[in-house]
Chain A
Amino acid sequence: MAMQLPLGARKAEPDAPGVRPQIGWSLSPRSDREAGDAIASNFLFHAFPSKVSKASMAWSYSFWLGTVSAALFFLLILSGLPLLFLYVPSVERAYQSVKDIEFVITFGSWIRAVHRIAAHGMVIAVFLHLMRVFLTGAYKNGMGRGQHREWNWVLGVVMLLLTLFLSFTGYLLPWDQLAFWAVTVGTNIASSIPWIGPTVRELLIGGRTIEQATLIRFYVLHVVILPLGLGVLFAYHMWRVRKDGGLARAEQEALLERPRDVAATPTKTYTLLGVARGQAPVIRAQALEAPDTTVNAVPDLVRRAAIATLGTFAIVSILSVFIASPLEEPANPLVTPNPAKAPWYFLWLQEIVTDTTIRIGSFTLNGAFVGGVLLPGLLVGLLTFWPWLDRSSHLATGVWFARVRARQNIVFLLVVLAILILTFIGTAMRGPYWYFYWPWEAWPDIPARI
C-alpha cells in the first residue's frame, strides 16, 4: 500500500511512473528504460538498481536491518569526527580529555553519547541483521547464474567481527578502569593460545605491559584501520547484493510457477544490475519485471532507505540526550575493580571463560583458551561455513522459517538463546568476586582494598 505510485505525474509519462522530469533536472526520461539508465549512471543512485521487487522492500521481510547498520556506521563516522579533534591518545591525558569532552565541551557529552549509543546499537543491529539473514535462508542462491550469496554471508560474518573489534578498541580509549581491565583480560585471552599466544599479546599491546604503546595501537586501529576495512567491506557487501540479484526475497518472484501476463521473453538477461552488464544473473521469470510486483527504485527504494536512515539518526540523537555515557575512575593498574565486568556484548564470553577450565587428572586446560579462543572460534567457523553445510532446496531462499530449514533454524535460535542467557547471567547475576547473586539480591559491602 505504501508502495503506491504518486498519481500526479503519471498522466504525462505513463511509461516512467517513478521518475518525473523536474525543474533543474538536466534530463527528462521518456520511458522506463531511459529512467533506469539515468539512475544507473547517476553517481548518487548507482548503488541502487533501477527497479526493485515490492516483496524485497517490505518492512516485515528484512526489517531494513542492513540499512540501519549502515546508517549507524555512518553516524559513528560523523560523531567520531569531532571526537577526533578533542581526544588525546596519551596515557597521561586520555582520561582528562574524555572528562573534558563529557563535562567541559559544549555538546561534548551529547556527541560522545551519540557515538557510544550508535556503537552499542550497531552491535545489536548487525547481529539482528545476521539473524534475519540466517532465519530467511538469505545466504542461499536461487536460480540466477553467477550468484554467490554465500560469499556475501562470509563478508557479513567478517564485518560482525570487525564491528565487535571496533567496539573493543573503542572502549579502551577513555583509559579508565573498565578500559584497562578489559584490555588486560582481552589480551590475556590472546596470550592463552598455545605457542604463539604470548607473541600475539606482545604485538597487540606493543610490549609486555599495557602502556602508551598499547593505547596508540588501539587508537590507530579504532580510528583508521578498522573503519577503513569495514568501509571497504561494506562497499563490497553492497556490490555483491547487486551482483547476486538483489535481496534473496526476490528469488521467490523468480520462482513463481505461472508466468505473468507481460511481454514475454522466455529467457531474458536480467539487466537491472546495470553496473555489471554481461555478468548479471539470468533469471527465467517475467514476474521480476511485471509492473504489479516491482517498483522503480526512485523514488520508492530511496524513500524507504531515507526513512530507515533518518529514523535511525533521530532515535540515536534523541536517546543520547537522555542517556549519559559512563566514565569510570582513571585506569589504575594496581587495583582491579570488583566485580570487573566487560561491556554487555562480551559478558557471555566472560561467563564462558569462567566456566570452561577443564581438568583431566593433573592436566589443566585454561578456560581462557577454551572459552576465549576455542569455543568462539568454533562458533565463528561454523557460522562462516554454514552456507556450504546447509544443503536445503533453493526453494527455501529468502523465506522466513522455511519448513525444510526448520531444524537448523531451531539449533541456531537455541545457540542465540544460550548467548542471551549467558549475557543476562553476566549482567544481572554476578556480583563481587564473580559470585552468583539473584538479580533481586543485594551485593555485600566489600572494602575496596585490604
Chain B
Amino acid sequence: MSDTAAKAPTDRRDFLLKLGAGAGVAAITAQTAASLRSLVPNVSYDSPTTVKLGPPVDFPDGIKFLPDERLFVFRTGNTFHAVSAVCTHLGCTVRAEALSNAQTETIGGVEVKLTHRFLCPCHGSEYKGDGSNVSGPAPKPLAWYRLTVAPDDGQLVVDLADEVGTDFRLTLG
C-alpha cells in the first residue's frame, strides 16, 4: 500500500521528466533533419537533354565535335550517329585522334570505316572509333545517343537522355 502510494508521485515525475527529455530530443532531431533536408536540391537546373545541333548540312562527312554537348557526331553520306565524349571512367572529356590509316569494321551488321580513336586525358582510357573501350581503366564503351530531325526546321536533334545501341543510324531521305 504505502509502496504504491510512495511510488505514484515518483512515477508521474518520472513520466514528466521523460516526456520533457523526449520532447527535447524530438525537437532537436526534427530541426536537424529539417536543416539537412534543405540541402537536398528539389529542383535541378540542368541544361535540357534534348538539344538542337544545327542543320545537317553543317556536319561534314566524317566527325564533328560539339563541346557544349560533349558529343561527337559522325556522318557517312546520308547517315548520322552520335557518340558521347564523356569518359565512362570518371567523366573527363575524351579527345578524338585521327588514325593514320582508317580501319573497316562491322559494327551492328554495318560496315563502318573507323577514322578516329578516342583518348582520355585524365587516366589514359582508350576507345575505338565506335566508342568501344580498348584499354585503360574505362569500364564500358562510350554512350551512343538517339539522333532525330526536328519537325519544325529540319535541324539534327540529340536526346542525351536516350542511349541507343551501336546499330543505331539516322538516315536522311
**Footprint of B on A, CB under 8 Å?**
181, 184-185, 188-189, 192, 202-203, 206-209, 211, 213, 217, 334-340, 350, 353-357, 364-368, 371-372, 430, 432-435, 449-450
Closest partner residue, chain B, to A365 (CB atom): B139
Pick the contact of B137 from A338, A357, A430 — CB < 8 Å?
A357
Cβ-defined contact, B93 with A208, below 8 A: no
Q: In whole angstroms, how far apart are the Cα atoms of A217 and B38 in the complex?
A: 13
Chain B residue nearest to A370 (CB atoms) is B137
Taking A185-B92, A338-B121, A433-B120 as contacts, is the C-beta distance between A213 and B136 under 8 angstroms?
no
* Cα distance A149–B26 in the bound complex, in angstroms: 35
**When the two chains form their complex, are residues B139 and A364 in contact, meaning their CB atoms are under 8 A apart?**
yes
Q: How far is the CA of A231 from the CA of B9 in the complex (A)?
A: 46
Q: Please give, as numbers and ranges, the residues of chain A lying within 8 Å of B93 by CB-CB distance.
A: 334-336
Q: Which residue of B lies closest to A210 (CB)?
A: B91
In the complex, are the beta carbons of A434 and B90 less than 8 A apart?
A: no
- Bound complex: CA of A81 vs CA of B123, how far in Å? 36
Q: Tell me if B173 counts as interface (CB < 8 A to partner A).
A: no
Specify which chain A residues have a CB less than 8 angstroms from the CB of B95 in the assembled complex.
Answer: 336, 338, 433, 450
- Chain B residues with Cβ under 8 A from A334's Cβ? 67-68, 70, 93
Binds A, one of B39-47, B76-84, B143-151, B164-172: B39-47
4 shortest interchain CB distances as A-B pairs: A434-B124, A338-B121, A334-B67, A367-B137
User: Using Cβ atoms and an 8 Å threshold, which residues of chain A touch B96?
Assistant: 450
Tell whether B156 is near chain A: CB-to-CB under 8 Å: no
Cβ of B89 within 8 Å of any chain A Cβ, yes or no, is: yes
Which residues of A sit under 8 angstroms from B88, Cβ to Cβ? Answer: 366
- CA–CA, A371 to B124, complex, Å? 15
B65 an interface residue at 8 Å Cβ cutoff? yes
- Residue of chain A at shortest CB distance from B135: A357
Contact of B46 among A181, A192, A209 (CB under 8 A): A209
Other A-B pairs, 7, CB within 8 Å; known A334-B67, A335-B93, A433-B124 = A189-B90, A203-B40, A207-B41, A364-B140, A367-B89, A367-B137, A433-B119
Q: Is the CB of B121 within 8 A of A434?
A: yes
Complexed CA–CA distance, A372 and B46 (Å) = 26
Chain A residues with Cβ below 8 Å from B99 are: none
Min C-beta distance of B79 to chain A, whole Å: 21
CB of B122 within 8 A of chain A? yes
Chain B residue nearest to A201 in the complex (CB)? B91
Interface residues of B in 98-140 (CB under 8 A from A): 119-124, 126, 136-140
Q: Which residues of B contact A217 (CB under 8 A)?
A: 39
> A residues within 8 A CB of B47?
209
CB-based contact B46/A185 at 8 Å: no
Q: How far is the CA of A185 from the CA of B44 in the complex (A)?
A: 20
Known: A206-B39, A367-B89. A337 touches B121 (CB 8 A): yes
Q: Which residues of A contact B68 (CB under 8 A)?
A: 334
Q: A206-B39, A340-B122 are in contact. Are A366 and B45 (CB under 8 A)?
A: no
Q: How far is the CB of A56 from chain B (nearest CB, A)?
A: 41
Contacts of A188 in B (CB 8 A): 90-91
CB–CB B139/A354 < 8 A: no
Say how far A288's CB is from chain B's closest CB, in angstroms. 44
Q: CB < 8 Å: which of A181, A364, A371 contacts B122? A: A181
- State A9–B123 Cα separation when bound (angstroms): 66
Which residues of A have CB within 8 Å of B46?
207-209
> Out of A184, A203, A208, A353, which one reaches B123, CB within 8 Å?
A353
**Would you give 13 A-B contacts (Cβ < 8 Å), ordered by A?**
A185-B122, A208-B46, A211-B45, A217-B39, A339-B122, A350-B122, A353-B123, A355-B137, A356-B137, A368-B139, A371-B137, A433-B120, A435-B124
Give the distance in Å from the alpha carbon of A354 to the alpha carbon of B125 in the complex.
8
Cα–Cα distance between A335 and B88 once the two chains are bound (Å): 16
Quick check: A184 and B90 within 8 Å, CB to CB?
yes
Nearest CB in chain A to that of B39: its residue: A203
Please name all residues of chain B whose beta carbon is closer than 8 Å to the beta carbon of A184 when the two chains form the complex: 90-92
Q: Are A208 and B139 in contact (CB under 8 A)?
A: no
Within the complex, the shortest CB–CB distance from A182 to chain B, in Å, comes to 10
- In the bound complex, do residue B136 and residue A354 qualify as a contact, i.e. CB atoms below 8 Å apart? yes
Question: A18 CA to B98 CA in the complex, in Å?
Answer: 77
The interface residues of chain B lying within 8 Å CB-to-CB of A433 are: 95, 119-121, 124, 126
Instruction: Give A340 to B124 CA distance when docked, in angstroms.
Output: 10
Select from chain B the residue with minimum beta-carbon distance to A355: B137
With both chains docked as a complex, state the minimum distance between the C-beta of B82 and any C-beta of chain A, in angstroms: 16
Contact pick for B121, options A211, A340, A353, A366, CB 8 Å: A340
Q: State whether B67 touches A335 (Cβ < 8 A).
A: yes
B117 CB → nearest A CB, Å: 11
**Interfacial chain B residues near A450, Cβ < 8 Å:** 65, 95-97
Contact A366 B139 (CB under 8 A): yes
Min CB distance, B103 to chain A, in Å? 19
Which residues of chain B are within 8 angstroms of A435 by Cβ–Cβ distance?
124
Q: B40-68: contact bitstring with A at CB < 8 Å (1 yes, 0 no)?
A: 11001111000000000000000001011
Contacts of A192 in B (CB 8 A): 90
Whether A202 touches B122, Cβ cut-off 8 Å, given contacts A185-B91, A334-B67, is no
CA distance A365 to B89 in the complex (A): 10
**Closest residue on chain B to residue A182 by CB atoms:** B122
Kindly list chain A residues whose C-beta atoms are within 8 Å of the C-beta of B123: 350, 353-354, 367, 434
Given A336-B122, A353-B123, A365-B139, check contact A206 B91 (CB 8 Å).
no
Rounded to whole Å, the gap between the CB of B39 and the closest CB of chain A is 7
Q: Across the interface, which residues of B come within 8 angstroms of A355, CB to CB?
A: 137
